[in-house]
Amino acid sequence: MIDQDFGFRTEDWEAATVKAVLFDLDGTFADTAPDLAAALNQVRFTRNLTPLPLEVLRPQASHGSAGLLKVGMNVTPDSPDFIELRDIFLNHYANNICVHTALFEGMSDLINELELRSLPWGIVTNKPHIYTLPLMQALGYADRAACLISGDTCSNAKPHPDPMNKACEIINIAPENCLYLGDDVRDMQAANAVNMRGVIARYGYISADAKLENWAAHAMIDTPLELLKLIPL
């Protein structure tokens, strides 16, 4: 049976125990798009191009510097000036990592509730650790997270299962007892690869043409607090 509101399989759910929650960072835990867009627009500024609106850049914000440079500068890692443009982007981002970035509305209440229930939570992101750590510190959540797994913590990043396994190893909880909230298909692929239940954050950086029904997710939610409906007391 599929739950009409959330699309999860009720019989799976009834048999499951959630002991921890893991989050993707960009577009799931925090709304990083404004600062990522500012970094991209700084690149455009250096090339005498007008800024692009946030709405154009937002759907790419889960795809890191390469995704933003593709849509904002029409370059790929093979382009001759890619490295130079990426360095301008990353330099600006590193120096302005938490100017406009904030947790999505309801996320701090969700984290408070998880902690109240003694459920450990952590981050599994593809963001390199030199950005993940200062961002989580600036947001005030670095010390509260049970794990911070970045794109370069393991030799492989999502959708490879390594980061998910690493998170489970650190928090000492089996993947099948974790929920993973993310806003990209690779998040669901990584979760599924370790038998963890992936939940789509529909409020995240999802393109209008994304076929979420093909992402093989356990559930979809429209606000962070809806996740609590998947974690009965």
Is 24 designated active site? yes
**Of positions 8, 16, 18, 27, contacts ligand PGA by CB under 6 A:** 27
Site membership for ligand PGA, residue 126 (CB under 6 A): yes
- Residue 84 C-alpha from the chain's centroid: 26
In the set 3, 12, 24, 222, the catalytic residue is 24
Residues 19 and 177 sit within 8 Å (Cβ to Cβ):
yes
Residues 6+ apart with CB under 8 A from 145: 121, 122, 123, 136
Taking CB under 6 A as the binding criterion, the range among 20-28, 79-87, 89-97, 136-144 that sits at the site for ligand PGA is 20-28
Q: How far is the CB of 124 from ligand PGA (least distance, A)?
A: 7
Q: How far is the CB of 195 from ligand PGA (least distance, A)?
A: 20
**Strand 102-103 to 30-31 pairing:** antiparallel
Between strands 102-103 and 148-149, the pairing is unpaired
Judged by CB under 6 A, does residue 163 bind ligand PGA? no
The pattern of x and - marking residues 181 through 220 that bind ligand PGA according to CB under 6 A reads ---x------------------------------------
127 binds ligand PGA (CB under 6 A): yes
Dihedrals phi, psi of 178, to nearest 5 degrees: -115, 150
Strands (E), 41-189: 102-103, 121-124, 148-149, 178-182
As annotated, the active-site residues are 24, 26
Question: Interface with ligand PGA by CB under 6 A: which residues?
Answer: 24-27, 62, 64, 125-127, 151, 184
